[in-house]
Each structure stands twice: as structure tokens, then as C-alpha cells.
Amino acid sequence: MRRTAPFLLLAAISLAACEQNMDVQPKYSEYSRATAFRGSVLRNPPAGTVARDAPAREQAIAHKPAVTAALLDRGHERFGIFCQPCHGAGGDGNGIIVQRGMPRPTSYHDARLRAADDQHFFDVISNGYGAMYSYASRVPPRDRWAIVAYIRALQLSRHASLDDVPQEARAQLTGPP
């Protein structure tokens, strides 16, 4: 009996230690203060740290793609998903959220926005503006450029003159039906 007592005591201690899991271990909450770190538990990344996709993302932000039919189609699709609920299908600023009581966004056909450069629209999509929040985490840079191209197409469709139509296509517009 004396020989089994230490073994039973060791087994009981070992089994008691197995019950501890990550829920009961000492830890810091994300936003609490920590004496070990002399401040917040959340730490800044070390200087010089680069996200894995940062170079490609920066390249896509810096270089606006050429406007093609495929880019406009993609912009139309992305506009319908992300922009149309607030700005409306025609870009007038009377989307479904306005009908639900939210503030009305500025129409894309406003003279100030027609005169704005493409970078302005890209920056607003990226950073937000007024009541609009940032879409940088939801819309990749290439799709932001596609949305900008589609916004320009919307503006042109409403404010184009006959002089904006190529010479070879004018005959179709001015000729007999």
C-alpha cells in the first residue's frame, strides 16, 4: 500500500492538471492595458514590415487601367453591388437607402463632380467621404478603377453632346430611322 500511495498521488495531480484549458489560463483582453508591454496589449508591427500583397496593391492603386468594354462591364457590376443602394442606378443620389430615411448623397451629375478628376472618385471609394464609409477593405483597387470608369460613363451618358460622338457614328444618330 505504501508503494502505491505516491503513484496514486502523482496520478491525481496529473489528472487535475489535464482539466485546465485555454479558457482559464491567464491572459490579457485585446484592448486592456498590460504592464508587460508598458501600455496597450495591441502592438504595432515592427518598422519595415510589409504586408504580403502590398507591392501588388500599391501597383494597382498607382496605375489606372485603360478603359475597355470589359472594365466598364465590371464597373457596372461592382457599381450595382456597392454604390447603387445609396447613389441609385443612374447615379442621381436617390438609391433605396434614401427612401428609407438616410441622407441623400450628391448626384454624380452635379457640376462639381463632373469636373472632379478620376483620382477624387478613387480616393472617396478608398477612404470614404461624409456619411460614406471606406470601401478599401471590400473593393480591390482594380474594381475601384472600374467603378470610376462606370461613373464617368454615367456622367457622359447624361451630359454628352453630338460633338462627343465620333464622326462615323453621327450618321446613325442624325440619319433617317
Task: State yes or no: pLDDT of 106 exceeds 80.
Answer: yes
Q: What is the model's pLDDT at position 172?
A: 79
Report the CATH fold assignment for 55-158: Cytochrome Bc1 Complex; Chain D, domain 2 (1.10.760)
Name the more confident of 104 and 166: 104
Rounded to the nearest integer, the mean pLDDT of the chain is: 86
Which tops the pLDDT comparison, 12 or 54? 54
Please provide the DSSP assignment of the chain as one string.
Answer: -TTHHHHHHHHHHHHHHHT--TTSS----TTSEEGGGTEESS-PPPTT---TTHHHHHHHHHSPPPP-HHHHHHHHHHIIIIIHHHH-TTSSS--HHHHTTPPPPPPTTSHHHHHS-HHHHHHHHHH-BTTBPP-TTTS-HHHHHHHHHHHHHHHHHHH--GGGS-HHHHHHHHS--
Mean pLDDT, range 167-172, rounded to an integer: 80
The per-residue pLDDT for range 108-129, each reduced to its tens digit, is: 999 999 999 999 999 999 999 9
Residue 18 has pLDDT above 70, yes or no: no
Q: Is residue 74 over pLDDT 70? A: yes
pLDDT band at 21 (very low <50, low <70, confident <90, very high): low
Query: Which pLDDT score, from 0 to 100, does residue 20 have?
Result: 59
Task: Summarize the confidence of residues 61-77 as an average pLDDT.
Answer: 95
More confident site: 137 or 32: 137
